[in-house]
Amino acid sequence: MKSKSGQAENSVNPAELARRQGSDCPVELIDVRTAPEHAAAHVAGAQLVPLDRLDPAAFLKARKCPEAPLYVICQSGTRAAKAVERFRNAGFDGCVLVEGGTQAWIDAGLPVERGQCRVIPLMRQVQIVVGSLSVLGAAMALGLDARFAVIPLLLGGGLLFAGITGMCGLALLLAKMPWNQQSTCASGAVAK
């Protein structure tokens, strides 16, 4: 897809995507978050294709309109950017990143389909694990042996790395856990 300036379009803001969804042109949108995240709140019509299960070649082969743009969304944009890169590496340059992801869509007041989800959001799971292990490591360093201080040190280093690179190894690991693989949410209600 080309912008008015003639250059390839790489991203779109939520308001513009909503406008395109309302036009006569079909919009193919994939959501690369986990199943519980998608079930809890997602843009109507978004097809769930979790990033850890994304096979760009197989997905592209199954598309009905292979030349049409493919819009990619996640929670904030980081996973969607990784998915776009995978599609580019597979030889498809027609991906359009939804800027700011589902959170930006919600913040813009655009409608989403919501469900009642019993699974804690992925980033909160990361915070719970890192917080728990940090407290445990610090308590063990104070009460048992100072060498246990390496636990919160490593966890802090992991958080620093995730903040700088946008890649969280713990989040990727937790996304593969059984409770994050299946949707345990009832969805369908449309709300802002």
Burial 72-106 (b: 16+ CB within 10 A, else e): bbbbbbbbbbbbbebbeeeebebbbbbbbbbebbb
Give the pLDDT score at 137.
93
Position with higher pLDDT, 117 vs 62:
62
Give the pLDDT score at 28.
92
Q: Are 32 and 57 found together in one domain?
A: yes
Q: Are 32 and 47 in contact (CB under 8 A)?
A: no
Position with higher pLDDT, 134 vs 163:
134
Residue 185: pLDDT above 60?
no
**Has residue 4 been placed in a domain?**
no
Give the pLDDT score at 36.
80
Residue 77: pLDDT above 80?
yes
**Has residue 68 been placed in a domain?**
yes
Q: Tell me how far apart the alpha carbons of residues 115 and 138 are, in angstroms, rounded to a whole number.
A: 38
> What average pLDDT does the chain have?
83
Which residues form the domain of 139?
122-180
Residue 66: pLDDT above 70?
yes
Q: Are 146 and 173 found together in one domain?
A: yes
Give the CATH number of the domain where residue 75 resides.
3.40.250.10
Q: Are 106 and 89 found together in one domain?
A: yes
Give the pLDDT score at 86.
94
Residue recorded with tokens 């036009």: 23
Q: Are 45 and 70 in contact (CB under 8 A)?
A: no
Q: Are 34 and 129 found together in one domain?
A: no
Work out the average pLDDT over 165-172.
Answer: 80
Q: Are 84 and 126 found together in one domain?
A: no
pLDDT digits (tens, 9 = 90+) for 22-44: 887 778 999 998 888 888 889 98
Residue 145: pLDDT above 90?
yes
Work out the average pLDDT over 53-63.
Answer: 91
Picking from 102, 126, 81, 82, the residue whose alpha carbon sits closest to that of residue 39 is: 102
Catalytic residues: 74
Length reported for the chain = 192
Give the pLDDT score at 3.
39
Q: Which long-range contacts (CB under 8 A, 24 or more apart) does 52-57 make?
A: 52/172, 52/175, 52/176, 54/83, 54/86, 56/86, 56/87, 56/89, 56/90, 56/92, 57/90
Q: Tell me how far apart the alpha carbons of residues 115 and 129 are, in angstroms, rounded to a whole number.
A: 25
Give the pLDDT score at 151.
94
**Has residue 170 been placed in a domain?**
yes
Residue 9: pLDDT above 80?
no
Q: Are 94 and 163 found together in one domain?
A: no
Other beta carbons less than 10 A from residue 122's beta carbon: 22
